[in-house]
Amino acid sequence: MDVYVNDNKVDGGLDTSGAVRDVVMQVQDHHCGQGQVVMAIRCDGAEIGAGAMAEMLARPAGDVGRLDVHTSTKPALVHDAMTHASVTLQDTESACQRVAELINEGESQQGIELLGQCLHVWQQVHEAVAKSIAMLDLDADAMTIRDEPLADIIGMPKDSLLQIKQALTAQDHVLLADILQYEFSEVTDRWHSVIAMLRHEAEERLEESPS
């Protein structure tokens, strides 16, 4: 197996007798710069997505001819994740308004199908925010945004999602449309503030990092 870190070949010093996971851990421990973390890997030219990562890491290293490991810093990863989350959240907000319009127009089934997609994206954004807070080692209980505890804002979607679930169960499409148009919009606005704060924090840390 040939191993490359950020397109630079690692000459010797790696035990490739185990699984791909073992090689990646050696790279993280001995061939990443200070503050660097593994962000992506490619095996024989193929980028490994999140869904296939566990299976690939468990493969024998001897089955892979070339392993490319790409690293970054935690602040850089957070900055990229929050930039993407901001765009995604904005698109989802528009989609939720479209769901409300479809329901009000009597196209409830189409609206509910679109809502399912929105809720999936919301879950992804929530996970990205939670991981970013952990990567920056922030105390969500000690921080505030707009005089509200960060932890409370992060948890706000749960209340709205519960109301959405109850409205769906009761088939109360009028209530569902109202939640999406008004309450969910307020939650989204607060989440934009959280994302902006995390991105700003990441930017400050990137500026403080030695070049």
Contacts of 195 (CB under 8 A, 6+ apart): 82, 85, 86, 89, 129
The answer to whether the predicted template modeling score (pTM) of the entire model surpasses 0.85 is: no
CA torsion sign, 161 to 166 to 171 to 175? negative
118-141 in b/e form (b: 16+ CB < 10 A) is beebbeebbebbeebbebeeeebe
The C-alpha atoms of residue 200 and residue 206 are separated, in whole angstroms, by 10
Tens-level pLDDT at each residue, the chain (211 residues):
999 999 999 987 899 999 999 999 999 888 887 778 888 999 999 988 878 889 999 999 999 999 999 999 999 999 999 999 999 988 888 888 888 888 888 888 888 888 888 888 888 888 899 899 999 999 988 888 888 888 888 877 777 778 888 888 888 888 888 888 777 778 888 889 999 999 999 999 988 875 5
Domain spans of the chain, in order of start:
2-64, 76-208
Residue 40 three-state SS = strand
